[in-house]
Amino acid sequence: MGIIHFLNVNEGDCIWIEHPSEHNTIIDISNGQEVTNIFESASSSGNHNQKNYPVNPIEYLKDRNVSTIFRFVLTHPDMDHMDGIKDLFETFEVLNFWDTENTKVMDDNMSWGRYDKADWDFYQEIRTSLSSPKVLNLYAGQKGKYYNQTEDGKSGADGLYLLAPTTDLVAEANKSKDYNDCSYVILYRTGNNKKIIFAGDSAEKTWNYILENHEEDVKDVDILIAPHHGRKTGGNDEYLDVLNPKLTLFGNAKSEYLDYSSWNNRGLDHITNNQANCIIINTNGESGMDVYVTYEVFAKKRNPDTFYDETYGGWYIMTI
């Protein structure tokens, strides 16, 4: 069980899991730079334009009195998943760092756009760290203390089960230079038997492997964090029919790239950061998981009986 924060961080990913063990897991970071953006006002129509109002995840964590990150998971080495990693590690004590054994290189003379080269350089430094944080290169099916085993070797602990990548997927990604194919995919099992999939930017090769080797684990999940922010390039042709998620969360991307039709054609419920801003899920409920969003206008449109809960800093919209 735990509380999941799916943060609105521009066109990128950042997820925070508050575990009952009091461990904090952060999966990816984006919009972590100390910048101030000024945008036009939000719309009250179907497009709520909340991607124009991203949060800085470092400030979000500081505001909630986080001091230590037990594990930081970098799903794969794309800049929209490590935008602010240097500031994150310098602001908080990070104990464990999950990293794929990718061989990606970046041209020092390239244009970095909205990203900071210092984040890439820092990433290269910490992934060879011999002290703190502890660097872990984990693969599908691995088990270990704290992430899915207790001190005495029993299943559970923080409930994180690795579905991908495999050594073969990483090797293929290093050869093809398509690093989405070596993305972590993590199944989070809650104490009340709910299943949540954190899909990173996983694409066809990854989901071909998962459906062939872990179909029972991913069948009929409760929540899916959509692969590749919900883009058409995420997943494969069959995965949604197997996962059949009760609710899917989309990140931010231009609408023409998002795969709305695959969800709509199957009658699958989905919410985007662009609609809801940040999305908070309390997995601890006896009757199900309570979902909150931080944008009031969307909450009232989604659920006219919504109410604000100070504990989660959001507006209640549904229970799964």
Domain borders along the chain are 3-319
Residue 44 pLDDT > 50, yes or no? no
φ/ψ (deg, to 5) at 317: -125, -25
Q: How far is CA 149 from CA 98, 143, 253, in A?
A: 16, 7, 36
The pLDDT, as a whole number, for residue 159 is 96
Residues near 151 by Cβ (< 8 Å), separated by ≥ 6?
145
Across the chain, mean pLDDT equals 93
Q: What percent of the chain has pLDDT over 90?
A: 87
Output the pTM of the full model: 0.95
Q: What is the biggest distance separating any 2 CA atoms in the chain, rounded to whole angstroms?
A: 54
The pLDDT, as a whole number, for residue 11 is 93
pLDDT digits (tens, 9 = 90+) for 112-152: 999 999 999 999 999 988 778 999 999 999 999 999 999 88
Residue 226 burial (CB count, 10 A): 24
The 3-state DSSP class for residue 274 equals: helix
The 3-state DSSP class for residue 233 equals: coil
Determine the Cα–Cα distance for residues 317 and 307; give it in Å rounded to an integer: 8
Determine the Cα–Cα distance for residues 200 and 181; give it in Å rounded to an integer: 10
User: Whose structure tokens read 């089960």?
Assistant: 161
User: Please, are residues 163 and 217 in contact by the beta-carbon 8 Å criterion?
Assistant: yes
User: Please, are residues 187 and 217 in contact by the beta-carbon 8 Å criterion?
Assistant: yes
φ/ψ (deg, to 5) at 160: -105, 115
Residue 153 pLDDT > 90, yes or no? no
CATH 3.60.15.10 assigned to domain 3-319? The reply is yes
pLDDT digits (tens, 9 = 90+) for 222-274: 999 999 999 999 999 999 999 999 999 999 998 899 999 999 999 999 999 99
Cα pseudo-dihedral 202, 100, 273, 231, rounded to 10: -20
